[in-house]
Structure formats: structure tokens, C-alpha cells
Structure 1
Amino acid sequence: MKLLIGNRNYSTWSLRPWLVLRHFDIPFEDEVLQLQGEGFRDVLARRSPTGKVPVLQDGELTVVETIAIIEYLADRFPDKAIWPANIGERALARAAAAEMHSAFTALRSHAPMNLRASHPGKVSVDAVAKDLHRLETLWGSLLARSGGPFLFGAFTAADAMFAPVATRLRTYDLPVSDMAAGYVEAIYALPAFQDWLGMALHEPWIVDEDEIDVIQGRVKPGTLA
């Protein structure tokens, strides 16, 4: 089984299924496909049916789209508790994952994932306030039900879906409650996340479109080292 991923420092959608595979000890290998540079789109088009990452290859089967990959893994490895065992909890977990997939657009656009960076004060709190409020409400209700440290007690696919959001809160030092900050700490303490983070910190590549200083016009594309 192989997972094609983008640059670890920036690729939020790649991080999510990778965490599921690593945390639940599912044997796999990964391959990084560059998200910037000469010809990178041609490479993606040759390797991915959608021209995007992640892509899961399992024998002759190719699965694209993060949630589809996670659902496939849950079906393929039913003993791994990728989703909560209780039917009600499982429904809530899938609803949270689906909301993450379709919402939180302000956080995505104004605060791109950048694991190597620290940019306190560079994201307007007003621009992401609605998304922050929804995070507080959603995480708060689920953590209150489960008792933590993750949304459903033990780590599940729902947490994998929200892991990139946790990194955004830390990178841009966005104001959140102690509850939300504790959840961010739990994500960062997860051994699988630490594995990904360690590799991301040693990547040499820059993706301009995910660098806040380029996005906000402080530096020109191609000038970051």
C-alpha cells in the first residue's frame, strides 16, 4: 500500500490519511509529489487521476479524496477502530469530519498550514472569528461528551481531519480557549503527528502560495529561502 502525498510542511489533505495509516499501524509507504516547481502539475497529472494529492494505491486500486481514503481504510481494517465503535458516536464523528471537509474556509484561506513557521499576529482575528467560534463550539461539545483528550476519547479519523486546524492555531497564535489549546496540545503530542512534524521540519522546499508573507504581499514569490 502506498500513499502519494504533497509537501509535508504544507499539505493538509495529505496529513489526514497519513495520520490514520501511521497511528493505526497500517503498513504502507509514502511518496512526496512536489506542489511547486517546474513541471510539478504535469507530474501530478501523471500520478493522480485528479491531479491532486493524496492518492492511495492498494494493489490495482487507486483511491483519491481524503475522506474516501479514510473510509476505505476503515472498511479494509475494521479491527482498527478508525471511527468510534458506537453507532451514535460514529455518526457524530463522521459529521464533524464532513464539516471540516466543507467548512472553515476563512481559516483555510487566511491561515495556510505551515509547520516550519511561526507567524503570530499575521492573521486578522476578525477574518477568522466565525470559524474560531465554531471550532470552540464543536470541539467543546465533543470533548465534554468524551472527556478527551481527543474528540471521542481515543484518537479517531475525526481528529485526523482536524489536525491541520490545530497547526494553524499554533502557527498564527490565534486566540482560543484553554479547552481548544489543550486539544491542540493533544494533537501535537500524538506520536504519529510527531513523526510527520519531524519530517516536515527537515524539508527544504518552499511553496509560495502557502507562505503568509507571499500571500499578504510582504515578499515576492520565489524570494523565500
Structure 2
Amino acid sequence: MKLLIGNRNYSTWSLRPWLVLRHFEIPFDDEVLQLSGPDWRDKIAARSPTGKVPVLIDGDLVLPETIAIIEYLADTFPDKPIWPADRRDRALARAASAEMHAGFPALRNHAPMNLRASHPGRVDLDAVRKDLHRVETLWGALLERSGGPYLFGAFSAADAMFAPLATRLRTYELPISDMAGRYVEAIYALPAFQDWLGMALQEPWIVDDDEIDVIQGRVAPGTLA
């Protein structure tokens, strides 16, 4: 089994299934397909049906899309608690994951994942206030129900879905409650996340489209070292 991923520093969608695979000790290899450089889109399109990452390869199966990959892993390894065991919790976990998949556009656009960076005060709070409120409401309800430290007690696919958002909160030091802060700390404390983070910090590549200085027009594309 192989997972094709983008640059670890930036690729939110790659991080999610990678965390599931690593945390639940499912044997796999990974391969980085860079999200920049000459003809990078063509190179990914040659390996991915959608022209995007991640892609899971299992024998002759070539499977794109993060949630589909996670569901395939849950079906293939039913002994692994990838989703919560309780039927109602499982439904809530899938609902939260679907909301993350389709929602939080302001945080996506104004606070891109960048694990190597620290940019406090660089995000327009008015632009992301609605998303931050929803994060607090959603996480708060689930953590109160479960008792934490993760959304459904033990780490699950729902936490993998929200891990990139947690990194955005830290990178840009966005204002959050103590409850949300403890959840962000729990994500960072996860050994699988630490493994990913360690590799991300060693990457030399820069993706201009995910650098806040380029997005906000402070520096020209191609000038970041």
C-alpha cells in the first residue's frame, strides 16, 4: 500500500489520511509529489486520476480523495478504531468530517497551512471570525460530550480531518479558547503528527501559493528563499 502525498509542510489533504495510516499502524509507503516546480501539475496528473493529492494505491486500486481513502481504510481494517465504535458517535464524527471537508473557507483562504512558519497577527480576524466561532462551537460540543482529549475521546478519523485546521490556529496565533487550545496541543502531542511535523520541517521546498507573504502581496512569487 502506498500513499502519494504533496509537500508535508503545506498539503492539508495529504496529512489527513497519512495520520490515519501512521497512528493506526497500518503498513504503507509514501511518496512526495511536489506542489511546485517545472510541470508539477502534469507530473501529478500522470499519477492521480483527479490531478490532486493524496492518492492511495493498493494493488490495482488507485483511489483519490481523502474521505474516500479513510473510509476504504476503515473497511479494509475493521479491527482498527478509525471511526468511533458507538453508532451515534460515529455518525457525529462523519458529520464533523464532512463539515471540515466542505467548510471553513475563510480559514483555508486567509490562513494556509505552513508548518515551518510562525505568523502571529498576520490574519485579518474579521475575515475569519465566523469560522473561528464555528470551530469553537463544534469542538466544544464534541469535547464536552467525549471528555477529550480528542473529539471522541480516543484519536479517530475526525481528529485527522481537523489536524490541519489546528495547525493554522497555532501558526497564526489566532484567538481561541482554552478548550480549543488544549485540543490543538493534543493534536501536536500525537506521535504520528510529530512524525509528520519532523519531516515537514526538513523540507527545502517553497510553495508560493501557500505562503502568506506572497498571498498578501508583501513579496513577489519566486523570491522567498
TM-score range for the pair, normalised by the shorter chain length? over 0.9
* Length-normalised TM-score, structure 1: 1.00
Shift, 1:96, TM fit? 0.2
Cross-structure match for 2:90: 90
SS of residue matched to 2:31: strand
Q: Deviations over 1:66-86 (max 9, x none)?
A: 000000000000000000001
Q: Deviations over 1:123-171 (max 9, x none)?
A: 0111000000000000000000000000000000000000000000000
Between the aligned partners of 2:190 and 2:124, the Cα distance in structure 1 is: 29
* Length-normalised TM-score, structure 2: 1.00
SS of residue matched to 1:79: coil
SS of residue matched to 1:80: coil
Between the aligned partners of 1:100 and 1:42, the Cα distance in structure 2 is: 28
Q: Which amino acid aligns with 2:136?
A: E
Aligned pairs (5 A) from 1:15-164: 15-164=15-164
Aligned residue pairs total: 225
Q: Which amino acid aligns with 1:72?
A: Y
Question: Does 1:210 find its partner at 2:210?
Answer: yes
Shift, 1:57, TM fit? 0.1
Q: Deviations over 1:18-50 (max 9, x none)?
A: 000000000000000010010101101101011
Between the aligned partners of 1:187 and 1:180, the Cα distance in structure 2 is: 11
Between the aligned partners of 1:57 and 1:64, the Cα distance in structure 2 is: 9
Q: Kindly, what percent of the aligned residue pairs are identical?
A: 81
Q: Which amino acid aligns with 1:184?
A: V
Give the alignment's Cα RMSD to 1 decimal.
Answer: 0.3
SS of residue matched to 1:78: coil
Q: Which amino acid aligns with 2:138?
A: L
Between the aligned partners of 2:60 and 2:213, the Cα distance in structure 1 is: 42
Q: Which amino acid aligns with 1:50?
A: T
Q: Which amino acid aligns with 1:119?
A: H
Between the aligned partners of 2:168 and 2:41, the Cα distance in structure 1 is: 26
Q: Which amino acid aligns with 2:95?
A: A
Runs of 4+ displaced beyond 4 Å: none
Between the aligned partners of 1:41 and 1:132, the Cα distance in structure 2 is: 32
Q: Which amino acid aligns with 2:20?
A: V
SS of residue matched to 2:79: helix
Between the aligned partners of 2:82 and 2:63, the Cα distance in structure 1 is: 17
Between the aligned partners of 2:172 and 2:41, the Cα distance in structure 1 is: 29
Unaligned runs of at least 5 residues, structure 1: none
Shift, 1:198, TM fit? 0.1
